[in-house]
Amino acid sequence: MKKLEVEEKLSKIAKNIKSSIIRELLKYSTQPGMISFGGGVPDPETFPRHELAEIASKIVEEEYRITLQYSTTEGDPVLREEYLKLLERKYNINNLDLENIVITTGSQQALDLIGKIFLDEESICAVSSPVYLGAASAFSIRSPMFINVPLESDGMNVEFLEKQLRNLDEKGLINKFKFTYVVSNFHNPAGVTLSLEKRKKLLELAWKYNFYIIEDDPYGALRYEGEHIPNIFKLGDIEHVILLNTFSKTLCPGLRIGTVIGDKNVVRKFVMAKQSADLCSPALTQRLAARYLQKYDIFEKLSRTLELYRSKLTTMLKAFEEFLGGIEGTDWTRPQGGLFTWVKLPENVDTMDMLKIAMAEKVLYIPGEVFHIDEKGKNYMRVSFCLPSHEEIIEGVKRLTKVVKEYQKKSR
Ligand SMILES: *Cc1c(COP(=O)(O)O)cnc(C)c1O
């Protein structure tokens, strides 16, 4: 009998799926003595567990007909209603109704559905370079052509994008161009924020060339300093901008609740595509989030979290200055929010290759090349400051500095 080989049976899409290096790496983060700057996950101490526990018990007992039942594909109407109120209160985003919102199983599902809805092999889309890994993998499996737009300290290089679009237009390919994906605030992995000027410029391009802007904004509410910049969605119009959000970074990722806000026709497509993915997101966690939003002011609750992350970020930037700054050719972003800094090392450093030394020195980061479709970023690394303690941050940066020096000595 011939052996059944998985590889022989796989679909084109399955062949395109790569395992996440981040998930592989994070297995090492639990080794004793390891200081990990790798995880992009919130500090569990910030989860409002007592509040959620109380609500959870109540909604299972009293609302079991809803919470333990199938939900609608669009999502719990109570949650959608509450979320729209929150958008109005916090971001002055109004004039939306329930048909403009669909709840997804985390933002990750929204990204996956975007791939399904918009991308064929001959499609073209634009992403930043570096790019959020979750988006890159959700889009990549559809095998579109990517325009990799360089990321700068004030967000993606919009002029670069404009040139590429003009080029596509001249070649008669502009109708193949579907969307530009942007993480507008405190980019993952780079920590940078798209400036107001660039937001407006990007919108002008979207109007001129008629494409969608996918604005992914998980970190907008995690601002530690500086002025809030209005969302692209707020500056633009619902016809051209699709706004993704999630409770993962502001409440807790275990809920697996993301939101998609867009034009009714777009939302309808999301709902249809979601039907075949999971029928509906969990009714239990949706109602849990809804009742939480009704009972508490999520932003007031968040203020302690912001305080915690702000101080950790300060500690990290100081430690960079003190230790890493001594190595010529190093630089890093100074984010005003979010969970990440993006560290540039001298050109001759390959952060993937350097990992083995880092492991031996018991410090962990995510190599920059992971966040690239265009095979760049080899001398960069993503460093998260939200999980380790202040002491661990300082010690971890000391170790990182030692690792880089050791690597340079070896490769000389
Ligand atoms: C964390 C994060 C998300 C959230 O993903 P979930 O599936 O909602 O947990 C989405 N986009 C970016 C850029 C992120 O960093």
Compute the C-alpha angle 247/370/181, nearest 5°: 50
* Other CB atoms within 10 Å distance of the CB of residue 329: 13
CA of 161 to the centre of ligand 1 (A): 24
SS3 363: strand
Q: What is the pTM of this model?
A: 0.96
Tokens (6 digits) for 6: 């998985």
CA of 57 to the centre of ligand 1 (A): 27
Q: Strand 366-367 relative to strand 380-384: parallel, antiparallel, unpaired?
A: antiparallel
**Residue 246 Cβ < 6 Å to ligand 1:** yes
Which ligand 1 atom minimizes the distance to the CA of 132?
A: 13
Write down the pLDDT at residue 111.
98
Query: Rounded to an integer, what distance in angstroms lies between the CA atom of residue 181 and that of residue 128?
Result: 7
Out of 109, 137, 188, mutate this one to test ligand 1's pocket (max ligand atoms within 8 Å of CB): namely 188
Query: Rounded to an integer, what distance in angstroms lies between the CA atom of residue 227 and that of residue 379?
Result: 31
Which ligand 1 atom minimizes the distance to the CA of 257?
A: 8
SS3 146: strand
Q: Which amino acid is at 53?
A: A
Query: Rounded to an integer, what distance in angstroms lies between the CA atom of residue 3 and that of residue 178?
Result: 42
Q: Which of 244, 243, 113, 126 is nearest to 177 (CA)?
A: 126
Measured N-to-C along each axis, helices 298-322 and 390-411 cross at an angle, to the nearest 10 degrees, of 40
CA of 272 to the centre of ligand 1 (A): 22
Residue 117 gets the label, from left (phi > 0), alpha (psi -120 to 50) or beta, of: alpha
Phi and psi at residue 226, to the nearest 5°: 85, 175
**Residue 42 Cβ < 6 Å to ligand 1:** no
End-to-end, the C-alpha distance of the chain in Å comes to 54
**Residue 191 Cβ < 6 Å to ligand 1:** no
Query: Rounded to an integer, what distance in angstroms lies between the CA atom of residue 262 and that of residue 222?
Result: 23
Write down the pLDDT at residue 41.
86
CA dihedral sign of residues 58, 64, 65, 69? positive
**Residue 188 Cβ < 6 Å to ligand 1:** yes
CA of 292 to the centre of ligand 1 (A): 21
Bridge partners (DSSP) listed for residue 366: 382
Name the DSSP letter for residue 395: H
Name the DSSP letter for residue 369: G
Query: Rounded to an integer, what distance in angstroms lies between the CA atom of residue 392 and that of residue 385?
Result: 10
SS3 364: strand
CA of 111 to the centre of ligand 1 (A): 9
In the block, which residue shows the tokens 């941050």? 393
**Residue 108 Cβ < 6 Å to ligand 1:** yes
Write down the pLDDT at residue 29.
83
Write down the pLDDT at residue 23.
77
Tens digits of residue pLDDT in 138-174: 999 999 999 999 999 999 999 999 999 999 999 999 9
- Residues of the chain falling short of pLDDT 70: none
